[in-house]
Chains A and B, each alone.
Chain A
Amino acid sequence: SQQGEEDPQALSIQEGENATMNCSYKTSINNLQWYRQNSGRGLVHLILIRSNEREKHSGRLRVTLDTSKKSSSLLITASRAADTASYFCATDGSSNTGKLIFGQGTTLQVKP
């Protein structure tokens, strides 16, 4: 399976601290994406990093990609209570169909 696996499964931090989540995958990819989910319903896209990129920033988010280790990390800096959510990585693998496979997610709790 090319499914990504996030760790940790759950993370609890204080407001203002940084949160780091990791994603590992099994096959080669064209891109890797991170999504956020509140309340167990629709996911919201956060950031996409292509296989030829090593790092990408968007506001307080920083994503890194290491294709040699088949891993990615999502860093949220200066966390806020509103960042409390589940975070998922998704990979397209080397499939010609381009389907996206999601990992099991990391549940982040930011305490005020």
Chain B
Amino acid sequence: GAGVSQSPSNKVTEKGKDVELRCDPISGHTALYWYRQRLGQGLEFLIYFQGNSAPDKSGLPSDRFSAERTGESVSTLTIQRTQQEDSAVYLCASSRGQGREKLFFGSGTQLSVL
């Protein structure tokens, strides 16, 4: 596609429910990132996929968080048993190379856990 696409753009859920966030990177981009941004704060690294290499999961805050990527296409970030502190904007980005090139960001998913 023309840009990185994220869905849904907004998600409201109840505490304890599972949510699934989707990211469609730019076609041909081998690197894909997930970040979390709480209100008024910086970007918190969550996970990084590069081609067929094992993903760098070092930023996932707990075992309630997981992410998958099918080949070099769509990625899904899953949060199980959501908590109120999970409320944030979840941003996805992709790049052509091994992460040392510029990132193209999606518009994010605003997650609100009630």
**Nearest CB of B to A42, in Å:** 4
Give the residues in chain B near A44, CB-CB below 8 Å: 105
**Contact of B41 with A by CB under 8 A:** yes
**Residues A97 and B56 in contact, CB atoms below 8 Å apart:** yes
**Contact of B7 with A by CB under 8 A:** no
What mask results when residues 69 to 109 of chain A are scored 1 for a CB within 8 Å of chain B, else 0? 00000000000000000001010100001111111110000
**Contact of A18 with B by CB under 8 A:** no
Q: Bound complex: CA of A40 vs CA of B48, how far in Å?
A: 21
**Residues A99 and B108 in contact, CB atoms below 8 Å apart:** no
**Residues A92 and B100 in contact, CB atoms below 8 Å apart:** yes
**Nearest CB of B to A88, in Å:** 7
What mask results when residues 38 to 66 of chain A are scored 1 for a CB within 8 Å of chain B, else 0? 00111111001000000000000000000
**Nearest CB of A to B47, in Å:** 9
Q: Bound complex: CA of A36 vs CA of B105, how far in Å?
A: 11
Q: Bound complex: CA of A25 vs CA of B105, how far in Å?
A: 22
B3 and chain A: residue at smallest CB distance: A42
12 more A-B residue pairs beyond the given contacts A33-B102, A41-B91, A97-B53, with a C-beta to C-beta distance below 8 A: A33-B103, A42-B4, A42-B106, A43-B43, A43-B103, A48-B102, A97-B48, A97-B50, A98-B98, A99-B33, A99-B99, A100-B33
Q: What residues make up the interface of A, taking CB atoms closer than 8 Å to B? A: 30-31, 33, 35, 40-45, 48, 88, 90, 92, 97-105
* In the complex, the 4 A-B pairs of residues with the closest C-beta atoms, listed nearest first: A98-B99, A104-B42, A102-B43, A42-B105
